[in-house]
Structure 1
Amino acid sequence: MTPTVGTNRRAFLLGSAAAAAGVMLGACSTGDDTAGDDTAGNGTKGGGGKADGVGSSKKPLSAPAEFHEAPMLAAQVKAGDLPPVKDRLPARPYVVPHNWLEPGKFGGELRMMTPKVSDGQVREYMYGHSILRYLNDGMDIGPGIAESWESNADASEWTLHFREGLKWSDGKPWTTADILFWWEDLVLDEDHSAVPPDEMRSGKGTLAKMTAPDDFTLVLTYDAPAPLTADRLATWVSGGNGDVGPIWTLPRHYVEQFHPKYNPDAPADWASKDGVFYTKADFVRNPECPTLTGWRVTSVKEGEVLRWERNPYYWCVDPDGNQLPFVDRLIMSVVQDAQVGKLQVQEGRYDYVHGPFAQLALADVAGLKETADRSGVETVLWDNGDGTGNACFFFNYDYHDEKMRKLIREPAFRQALSLAFNRAEVQKAVHFGMGEATTGTMSPKAVEYHVGSEGPDVYRSWRDAYNAYDPEAAKKLLDELGVVDKDGDGKREMPGGDKLTIVLTFAANPNDVVSQSNNLMVRDWRRIGLDVREDPIPPESMDPGWQSGKIMGRGDWGVGDGPNCLVFPQWIVPIEPTRWAPLEGQFYNVRGTPAENAERDKDPYDRTPPRMEPEPGGPIERLWKLYDQCKVEPDEMKRHQLVWEITKIHVEEGPFFQGSVANTPSLTVAHRDLGNVPRKENLAQGGFTAPWIHPTPAVYDPEAYFWRNPDEHGGSGAGA
């Protein structure tokens, strides 16, 4: 069967919200809803995101007739230290297909910022190890190190064809043995901490069988349909230590020396996350570890700076045949204090900063524009694409106190709190009038909400269900539940007369957007007679308290997942213990294992780990049944319809999580001399920065960024 390479979706238009943001924000980036076409991609004039090209080619581009390389590499070829460029590239290299690209120049260095050396954000800049990759803001799936793929009719067997001639950064050949090592010697090794990713499980939850007929072909065989395999292979960024995605491939020729199967002298703690294996196998922390990314690390100074140089064997080229990357070197300085980082950006210390990583927000635009002459940077606004805003609120559906849990599970109680929240004020005060008021949903860019006429209708019904500011309606709902002021102190009590205090817990030191949103929400709830207490706690205390049912409600997490609702469905279906129904999510995890029937005689909160079954016929049991159908349904349209049914449960019996203002602009800064950084109008859906599983900016190929005047930015001969 020919693979389905993504699904076309129209972007959700937000023209009125953009207009409300005023001239200053409007000047940063404009919008265009034109989707990428199938045939463009040979480069456009103008450049740096100011070109007319929109989106990315959906079909792989043909390899150019000849290839070109950076002067620093050409010099090494001439000296006999490197093979010619055509011998360093695969037989069919990946041709970056973005329609906004203009011909670039080699050279220079790029100064960047990162919170810490080992942080997963560093990896989100580079798609180099990934099997497949997202294009057009998640509308399409394109090739990665696998150049093609197909499945059988019921999606129970998938075959991946990898690029012949692919090489690691040390020049050693890549083969399927580099994947089998990860699978057989790490994932299937009981002494190792690696876990199989979702794409290696069938719709029944059982592990796939992995075989490699040859060095460049991999076959995944499942015991049931696994229709989401391609989507899941495109998510995250693979490689390294797996902190923002599964590893999938490692340079076996280098890392097997740290594995006791191949080296009896390997340390006893080899398999721990900070043990010798993970440390040595991490291309970000260990300059000796070969990589498939566009740049390779040359030095690491923990807590200070991370330095990279171009990978001479990088397997991607631009449409003109230039081996990427264009920029010679990256210098990533570690800045943990967000306020210090913002000041340094204004001082011109950095050339490119992906705003979400540096906690840059719309409130920083004015300062950045005022200092633009000094800093040399411009502000770039891409759509966030989230469904709730940077912060959302959700009760613990499995809260340990029986009386409060019963109230939390009343849809009318949660609906009352949603109607009492003045989102228009948050939109104006926090987001400068941009974005869209929302009850709280999955991403408005998710494919299921752009299919036919029903998809957009289903999305709007969820978004608008309880987002109107109507405190009188909220009071009426509470009154009908018996949540009234019984003792005359001005605060409502529980239906039985017990004291009612809503505790909003969040990680200490929240960013400004989270803090402002929470403050306005708490104020609104107090105005309808609710006693609300804010409870900042250390981040490390959050998961244990939440997963044991001891924390009542959270206000420090946004819902940004996509590009479809099934590839990472944890917000709409409780299948793990970190979101709105933690004990039931944990029970889903143990279904079909001995733990499912263990400790039946114990209170759910005393089990190890704490877990409980859903109420028979209740919303969670019905969500599970629909999701289980989705996982084995090979027909894409039928899966969309199942997602609509899931959504209707959220509309009728939710909100299970509550948003404020969705799809607000996400701020990035780029030096005015830096080319091929797309603007919103270049992107098929205006950008999609919120979810980690849609890795930004990796999806826009920073390896194609270039300096128009490289001699002014480190030059081609400057040292790192």
Structure 2
Amino acid sequence: MTRGMARRDLLGLTGVAVLGASLTGCEFLSTEPSTEPSPPASTDTKEAPELARLVADGALPPLEERLPEEPLVVTPVQEVGRYGGAIRRGELSLETGRNIVVFARASLVEWGLEKVEPVPALARSWEVSPDQRVYRFQLRKGVRWSDGALFTADDLVFWYESVLRNEELTPVVPGWLRSGSEPVELVKLDDHSVEFRFAEPNSLFLRYLAYPPNGLSILLPAHYLRRFHPEHTQTTELDKLVEEAGFENWMAYFSNRADAWHNPDRPVLGAWKVSRPPSGGTRAVMERNPYYWKVDTEGRQLPYIDRLEITAMDENVVVLRASGGEIDFQYSYLGTSNMPVLARSAESAGYRVLRWKYDAPGVDLYTNQSHADPVIRRLMQSLDFRAALSHAINRDEINQVLYNGAGTPGHPVAIPEDPYYVPGSGQRFLEYDPDTADRLLDRVGLTERDDDGFRLRPDGKPLRLTISTFTFESGIEPVDVYMLVKRGWEAVGIRTHVDNMDRSLWSTRITRNQFDIAGYIVAGYMWDINPGWFVPTDVSTYWAPLFGEWYASGGRSGEEPPPLLRRLQELYDQLTRAPDDETRLRLGREILAMHDENVWIIGTVSAPFQPVVVADDLVNVKEEAVGSYRTGHEGVTWPEQLFYRHPERH
């Protein structure tokens, strides 16, 4: 729960095999919050001791000068906390700023802590016009960047005029900031009021803003970044800076300076900022932002945790470190297949394992509806062919072998926690029935076979399908699933190859339409703000990239989809302009119903839960949540309000 409170009131407060038989150890694994009482928090101390020392030394302004006029007040999940300690985490690579999204998110609006819906954040309030074309935001007065400079509407104007509308930095305006082909218009009303004006209704705009990567993208410190932009700096001076820094052009240099993960000098608005960037190394450190604009119900500035320590390591090492009690809060790179070792070590290593929901629990198969080969395209666009592929998969075998019977067979049509989910969907063609698969394959014209018993295409050439995949987080090893799929398909005469490749190569091939079947997960939660999973909206629609490209380019490139898939695009356009939630939900469910009927993405088996390793004295972690990129991964539990019962141990 959050609410506003005046700064003077705050400062006056004074107190107040995966799951097999060998996993019987899970019985002792409690996911209940620890009942060990915390030592009483010192509520007369309104800031972290390390910040208080800086204030006493004259190196930092007093707290009342660092907080906004109305800080955002956070009601903790369980209780008010104590200052101190570090959270240790593991990452496969430190090149991406994933931990910024998780731990240093900031936005005009955020997903709520109690309920995942947009709530006030840097904007203390907003108004939406009846036609949902105009969104007016009132910014919190007195919010400061991590270097002490004031955050005002001018920062948003800088982002809009100098970045979004600069074609060298933003050649294509993101879809969430457009109405059709028209970019949004940002208007500054005063220092703390702005309007986003759309040419057409945009019913999803608040949800788009709450999506952490989007919300972060529009928050740029104008006072810092102007120096690196030609609209605000003399060309000769900027050219000299670019050359001295070793960049090819000002755009690359500007992007580097704006990168909060790799540039520790870049001011931020999140709870922590990078103090030790990765810079090609194996470790990064983030430390608390002394100007953070949230407080707890006792008026004490957040965050409670001093710092975050992120170390690069292999996926197997993540599991080993977690089981050894050397990771404090994480679900990334941990899956249900790791539960035996995590359960056995939990009590002795000092952690507990929560069971959150996966937002993309399955290992799925995207049939390429825009295949470059017209013969294969006709097959992929045939429901009989897709039904045959589905009936040839032995999901019970996959479930028993890889999930020990704990998984759930089904096709990806959102998860039950998604507001658009329709109960009972995703169940067509699930029965393992090779005979039916054979009949359907014959019916689509695949009656001829070669000397080895494999089917020939209608044009007489050998039929070969390749499942293109990579090692991704799914709770188990994805290639194991696809090898079992291969066995089922070859049993009905479809020669199949599983190509497990590097992720970057996979992305290149899929987005360039160079594939038969894409093997990956399907996000089933909050998909309306990231619609390519179910609607061809860009080249990252892994089951129809050419049709997605056509949509994203306004018809200038790609290929116009057939009527059925064009209908999905039309429904999504209507959804984004829906006059009310009832209409929006109806349209979203119609999109999912079309997937339920047509099975463009074939599912296998879904994992039962997402394990989350939590240090046993880390408090205020939500016991139940959906782990999702769209809600900031572990950030869904608002890490700024987490604390250790015994911070001196961390």
TM-score by length of 2: 0.88
Q: Give, in whole Å, the separation in 2 of the partners of 1:185 and 1:134.
A: 28
Shift of 1:22: 6.5
Instruction: Specify which of 355, 364, 374 is matched with residue 392 of structure 1.
Output: 364
Q: Is the 8 A contact 1:525 1:532 kept in 2?
A: yes
Greater Cα shift, 485-494 or 172-181: 485-494
The question of 1:669 aligning with 2:613 is answered yes
Residue 694 (str. 1) matches residue 631 (str. 2): yes
Provide, for residues 121-148 of structure 1, a one-character-per-residue CA deviation record: whole Å limited to 9, x for no partner: 2123225322211126864221221121
Displacement of 1:111 in angstroms is: 2.1
What runs of 5+ residues in structure 2 fail to find an aligned partner? 1-17
Gaps of 5+ in 1: 1-16, 32-43, 50-64, 239-244, 450-454, 597-610, 681-686, 714-720
The residue that corresponds to 1:684 in the other structure is none
**Structure 1 contact 117–284 (Cα < 8 Å) conserved:** no
1:650 paired residue among 595, 612, 615: 595
Aligned partner (choices 567, 571, 574) of residue 536 of structure 2: 574
- 1:196 to partner: Cα distance: 3.3
1:412 partner SS: helix
Structure 1 residues 633 and 663 mapped into 2: Cα distance closer, same or farther (>3 Å)?
A: farther
Shift in alpha-carbon separation, 1:237–1:612, aligned structure 2, 3 A: closer
Distance 1:411 1:584 in 2: 18
Q: What do residues 498-549 of structure 1 show as CA deviations (whole Å, max 9, x unaligned)?
A: 3211111223799843122112211222222321112233433334433443
Is 1:236 the counterpart of 2:212? The answer is: yes
Say which of 464, 481, 484 aligns to 1:501.
464
Q: Which has the larger displacement, 262-271 or 278-287?
A: 262-271
**Of 322, 326, 336, which residue of structure 2 is paired with 1:362?**
336
Question: 1:314 matched to which residue of 2?
Answer: 292
Please give the per-residue CA displacement for 1:32-68, whole angstroms capped at 9, x wherever unaligned. xxxxxxxxxxxx994899xxxxxxxxxxxxxxx9981
- For 1:266, what is the secondary structure of its paired residue? helix
- Counterpart of 2:538 in 1: which secondary structure? coil
SS in 2 for 1:397: coil
The answer as to whether partners of 1:379 and 1:669 remain within 8 angstroms in 2 is yes
Match of 2:191 in 1: 215
Question: Following the alignment from structure 2 to structure 1, what is the Cα–Cα distance between the partners of residues 78 and 114?
Answer: 16
Contact 1:385 1:663 in 2 (8 A): no
Distance change (3 Å), C-alpha of 1:669 and 1:86:
same
**How far off its partner does 1:225 sit?**
0.7
SS of the aligned residue for 2:301 comes to coil
Structure 1 residue 559 displacement after superposition: 0.8
DSSP-derived class of the 1:669 partner: strand
Alignment of 1:580-659 (within 5 A): 580-591=543-554, 595=556, 611-615=558-562, 618-652=563-597, 654-659=598-603
Match of 2:167 in 1: 190
1:23 deviation in Å?
4.6
Cα distance, 1:136–1:321 mapped onto 2, change above 3 Å: closer
Counterpart Cα distance in 2 of 1:315 and 1:281:
21
Kindly report which structure 2 residues correspond to 1:124-523, keeping only aligned pairs within 5 A, or say none.
Answer: 124-135=101-112, 139-193=116-170, 195-202=172-179, 204-238=180-214, 247-264=217-234, 265-267=237-239, 275-302=252-279, 303-335=281-313, 337-352=314-329, 354-356=330-332, 359-372=333-346, 375-386=349-360, 389=362, 391-449=363-421, 455-456=422-423, 460-461=424-425, 463-487=426-450, 489-507=452-470, 512-523=476-487
Comparing 364-373 with 570-579, greater Cα deviation is found at 364-373
Q: Judge conservation of contact 2:336–2:609 (CA < 8 Å) in 1.
A: yes
Paired AA for residue 230 in structure 2: P
Shift of 1:167: 0.7
CA distance in 2, matches of 1:410, 1:20: 42
Off by >6 Å, runs of 4+ in structure 1: 17-22, 269-274, 508-511
Give the Cα separation in 1 of the matches to 2:160 and 2:269: 18
Partner AA of 2:63 in structure 1: V
Cα shift readout 1:401-435 (whole Å, capped 9, x = no counterpart): 22111111111101111122122333333334334
* SS class of match (1:124): helix
Aligned residues: 619
Q: Is 1:539 the counterpart of 2:483 in the alignment?
A: no
- Correspondent of 1:92 among 60, 70, 87: 70
The Cα RMSD (Å) is 2.9
The Cα offsets for residues 291-318 of structure 1, whole Å up to 9 and x where unpaired, read as 1111122222432211222211111122
TM-aligned CA deviation for residue 658 of structure 1 = 1.4
Label 1:520 to 1:183 Cα distance change in 2 as closer, same or farther (>3 A). Answer: same
Q: Matched residue of 2:106: which SS?
A: coil
Which whole-Å CA distance do the structure 1 matches of 2:27 and 2:111 have between them? 28
- The question of whether the paired residues in 2 share the 8 Å contact of 1:368 and 1:379 is answered with yes
The alpha-carbon distance between structure 1 residues 586 and 152, as it changes in their structure 2 partners (threshold 3 A), is same
Deviation at 1:393, TM superposition (A): 0.8
Of residues 419-428 and 268-277 in structure 1, the stretch that sits farther from structure 2 once superposed is: 268-277
* SS class of match (2:468): strand
TM superposition shift of 1:174: 0.6
8 A contact 1:132–1:141 mirrored in 2: yes
**Does the Cα contact within 8 Å between 1:88 and 1:171 map onto a contact in 2?**
yes
CA shift for structure 1 position 374: 5.2
Q: Which residue of 2 aligns with 1:706?
A: 643
Q: Secondary structure at the match of 1:566?
A: helix
CA deviations on 1:130-182 (whole Å, 9 max, x unpaired) are 22111268642212211211211110111111111111111111101111111
Residues 1:689 and 1:321: Cα distance change in structure 2 (over 3 Å)? same
> What is aligned with 1:599?
none
The answer (yes or no) to whether the contact 1:191–1:271 under 8 Å persists in 2 is: no
The answer to which structure has the higher helix fraction is 2
Distance 1:21 1:581 in 2: 42
Measure the CA separation in 2 of the matches of 1:301 and 1:22.
38
Q: Secondary structure at the match of 1:697?
A: helix
Distance 1:299 1:646, change over 3 A: closer
Which residue in 2 is equivalent to 1:605?
A: none
Return closer, same or farther for 1:465/1:620 CA change in 2, 3 Å cut-off.
same
